[in-house]
Amino acid sequence: MTSTAMTVIKAPAPSAHLYSVLGYSLLPITLLSLALLLALWMYRHRKPPYGHVDVNEDNGLPPPSPLLGLKPLQLLEIKARGRFGCVWKAQMMNEYVAVKVFPIQDKQSWSNERDVFSTPGMKHDNLLRYIGAEKRGTNLEMELWLITEFHERGSLTDYLKGNVLSWPELCHIAETMACGLAYLHEDVPHCKGEGPKPAIAHRDFKSKNVILRADLTAIIGDFGLAVRFEPGKPPGDTHGQVGTRRYMAPEVLEGAINFQRDAFLRIDMYALGLVLWELVSRCKAADGPVDEYMLPFEEDIGQHPSLEELQEIVVHKKMRPFFKDCWLKHPGLEQMCETIEECWDHDAEARLSAGCVEERICQIRRLAGPPTSDCLVSMLTSVTNVDLPPKESSI
């Protein structure tokens, strides 16, 4: 019998060429996997999108505005810089908004302004419209954002630097500005289901905190130092020398404040007098040239006055910005100057209220020119003695 021999044939060892082919084939897959993992890590550690941060994590703070998490926000350009940070023009969906960015060190101001905006009854045509608030980032890199309506004209200060006013424009800005401050100062018992609105003192009223709409309607903003006076509740932080030094009333400059509601409202009225003077100084209604825009007291003590300089001229010398002779020859401007003097009276108790200033300006405009619709409403109300329905702006 013949035995059959079995031959085992070994496969040849893989060549270097085969390893190269496998390597080049797997490399794109490996890189793609790493890219996907990196993208997933970045997605999970990204800054939260607009509105997704819980701004209510502090006890007792109002809830965030609804639907903000559905609206992406893109910062476009810085429009202003101030004591508490900067203001950006931003885009939210198809709407431009203003984003006021506070550093974490100014959390108290951000929180206070948000709380004031969230007060019942704070929706008014002459108060800045609040949209929402959020926190961005973590730890020391955290930023605090406050989102409001945006107006391209910017602040009254900026507008007066580049523009002079006609008599109707002056009256319109002055009246709507006084209207906003009067509403802010007012106690409103019922606000369309929102509850009572307390009196609020602004405490940093100045032309830079007055915003202008396209039609030159004035809107009051920046409530970071504002104080609410709710019945039965302490008003919160009411320590004395706060606000912008140039606009401080004499009693604030000398540290002699009566810590009562009316005293704080009268401090706002002194500042209103200075802002009205700024308006008059840029009005072309009088015969004579209109000077370049200057801040109150700038001609006397420059752009950066010290506290001591202001104490000297405002408290001790009782100086105020001057009135040009040509203003006093214009019937409307003359009465406006008289109103201004009663706003910045050295005796705080002698100052006009914001509501009285609004009525005065309406009367001045009516006597010095054709009546407007607002003044016609006032005239009809007084003549017919019939209660008219309130304007939609006074919520």
Q: Which of 54, 115, 158, 204 is catalytic?
A: 204
What torsion, rounded to 10 degrees, do the Cα atoms 152, 156, 162, 166 define? 110
Any idea where the domains of the chain sit in the sequence?
68-149, 156-384
Measured between alpha carbons, how far is residue 71 from residues 77, 93, 99 in Å? 19, 6, 14
Measured between alpha carbons, how far is residue 291 from residues 74, 256, 294, 321 in Å? 40, 35, 8, 14
Q: What's the rounded Cα separation, in Å, for the pair 344 and 278?
A: 13
Specify which residues 145 forms β-bridges with.
101, 134
202's CB contacts (< 8 A; 6+ apart) are: 181, 184, 209, 220, 223, 225, 226, 268, 271
Residues 108-123 pLDDT 10s: 889 999 999 999 999 9
Measured between alpha carbons, how far is residue 63 from residues 51, 70, 106, 205, 325 in Å? 11, 16, 20, 27, 54
Residues 147-176 pLDDT 10s: 999 999 999 999 999 999 999 999 999 999
The CB density around residue 123, as the number of other CB atoms within 10 Å, is 17
Q: In the 3-class helix/strand/coil scheme, how is 183-218 assigned residue by residue?
A: HHHCCECCCCCCCCECEEECCCCCHHHEEECCCCCE
In CATH, what class is 68-149? alpha beta
One digit per residue, pLDDT tens: the chain, 395 residues? 455 555 555 555 556 666 676 666 777 788 888 888 877 666 554 433 333 333 333 433 444 444 455 468 889 999 988 777 899 999 998 899 999 999 888 888 899 999 999 999 999 999 999 999 998 877 777 889 999 999 999 999 999 999 999 999 999 999 999 999 999 999 998 777 778 899 999 999 999 999 999 999 999 999 999 999 987 776 666 555 578 999 999 999 998 777 789 999 999 999 999 999 999 999 999 998 999 999 999 999 999 999 999 999 999 999 999 999 999 999 999 999 999 999 999 999 999 999 999 999 999 998 876 544 444 444 334 333 333 334 333 32
Residue pair 122/172 in contact by the 8 Å Cβ criterion = no
Q: What CATH number belongs to 156-384? A: 1.10.510.10
Q: Which two tokens stand for residue 149?
A: 């309506």
Specify which residues 197 forms β-bridges with.
188
- The whole-angstrom distance between residue 96's C-alpha and the CA centroid of its chain comes to 15
Q: Please classify residue 267 by burial: count the beta carbons closer than 10 Å to its beta carbon, then call 0-12 exposed, 13-18 middle and 19+ buried.
A: buried
374 is an active site residue? no
198's CB contacts (< 8 A; 6+ apart) are: 119, 187, 228, 229, 230, 231
What is the value of pTM for the model shown? 0.76
- Residue with the two structure tokens 């550093």: 103
Q: What's the rounded Cα separation, in Å, for the pair 344 and 349?
A: 11
Closest CA to 296 of 275, 312, 323: 275
Strand, helix or coil for residue 259: coil
Residue pair 375/362 in contact by the 8 Å Cβ criterion = yes
